[in-house]
């Protein structure tokens, strides 16, 4: 009879209470996790959606957008989010000469702590082209990506990320940021992604001030 190490695993709920009384329940939970993985393996990728018509794809003369124009889209989307009571972050993604995603943070609206602007935009972009990889994509985000978003952008293999305000600006606004600069995360992790800091930084930083005008804002 083997003694499996996971028999000693302990699981806790979000209040810190231990929720596993013994090995049997641990095994059941692991079996459920394995079942979920197998179920996931059987999933088909969703069919690509057409790019939403409200997104600008090119400038009027047909040429690709500049990083500044892409950032302007992210800023406008961020303001939509602020008006809807969301946090002051926006992100736009261009791939293959088309803007394929533009999203704002929806953490509060969706009670999803991972629903940062970059994650939302990545989901929208990957869904739009039916591919988990966005090779060569250009991303403009109003604030320096947090470690979670920076890692997600790396996973998606985007080419270049422009950001406006800094993690320090978000920290000053009250957000519980990890004090790990995006460039440092890329360096430690050996990512080849190109990161371009502080594009339209004053305009992006101003978004925090606009958001602070809402007394019912949520900080996390």
Q: Which stretch binds Zn ion (CB under 5 A): 4-12, 107-115, 147-155, 172-180?
A: 147-155
Q: Which stretch binds Zn ion (CB under 5 A): 31-39, 96-104, 112-120, 177-185?
A: 112-120
Q: Which is nearer to Zn ion, 146 or 185 (CB)?
A: 146
Contact by Cβ (8 Å): 57, 51: yes
DSSP letter assigned to residue 6? G
Rounded least distance, CB 114 to Zn ion, Å:
8
Q: Which stretch binds Zn ion (CB under 5 A): 24-32, 128-136, 148-156, 183-191?
A: 148-156
Contacts 24+ apart (CB under 8 A), 193-196: 193/153, 193/154, 193/158, 193/159, 193/160, 193/161, 194/159, 194/160, 194/161, 195/160, 195/161, 195/163, 196/67, 196/160, 196/161, 196/162, 196/163
* Of the candidate residues 140, 146, 186, 199, the single one contacting Zn ion (CB under 5 A): 146
Does the annotation count 177 as an active-site position? no
Rounded least distance, CB 148 to Zn ion, Å:
5
Distance CA 187, CA 133 (A): 21
Rounded least distance, CB 170 to Zn ion, Å:
9
Q: Which is nearer to Zn ion, 65 or 124 (CB)?
A: 124
Assign residue 219 a region: left if phi > 0, alpha if psi is -120 to 50, beta otherwise?
beta
- Does residue 175 sit in helix, strand or coil? coil
Say whether residue 74 binds Zn ion (CB under 5 A).
Answer: no
Contact by Cβ (8 Å): 183, 163: no
* Of the candidate residues 100, 101, 149, 170, the single one contacting Zn ion (CB under 5 A): 149
Rounded least distance, CB 37 to Zn ion, Å:
26
DSSP letter assigned to residue 196? E
* Of the candidate residues 116, 120, 165, 169, the single one contacting Zn ion (CB under 5 A): 116
DSSP letter assigned to residue 12? B
Q: Which is nearer to Zn ion, 149 or 185 (CB)?
A: 149
What positions carry a catalytic annotation? 118
């Amino acid at each position: 009879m083997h003694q499996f190490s996971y028999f000693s695993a302990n699981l806790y709920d979000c209040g810190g209470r231990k929720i596993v009384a013994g090995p049997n329940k641990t095994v059941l939970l692991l079996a459920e996790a394995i079942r979920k993985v197998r179920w996931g393996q059987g999933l088909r990728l969703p069919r690509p959606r057409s790019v939403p018509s409200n997104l600008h794809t090119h400038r009027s003369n047909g040429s690709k957008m500049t990083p500044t124009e892409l950032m302007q889209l992210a800023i406008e989307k961020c303001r939509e989010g602020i008006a809807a009571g969301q946090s002051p972050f926006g992100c736009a993604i261009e791939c293959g000469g088309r803007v394929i995603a533009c999203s704002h943070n929806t953490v509060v609206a969706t009670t999803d702590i991972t629903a940062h602007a970059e994650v939302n935009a990545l989901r929208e972009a990957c869904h739009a082209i039916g591919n988990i990889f966005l090779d060569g994509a250009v991303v403009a985000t109003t604030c320096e990506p947090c470690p979670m978003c920076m890692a997600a952008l790396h996973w998606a293999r985007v080419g270049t990320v422009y950001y406006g305000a800094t993690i320090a600006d978000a920290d000053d606004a009250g957000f519980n940021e990890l004090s790990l600069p995006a460039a440092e995360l890329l360096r430690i992790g050996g990512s080849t992604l190109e990161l371009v800091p502080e594009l339209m930084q004053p305009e992006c930083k101003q978004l925090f001030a606009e958001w602070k005008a809402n007394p019912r804002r949520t900080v996390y």
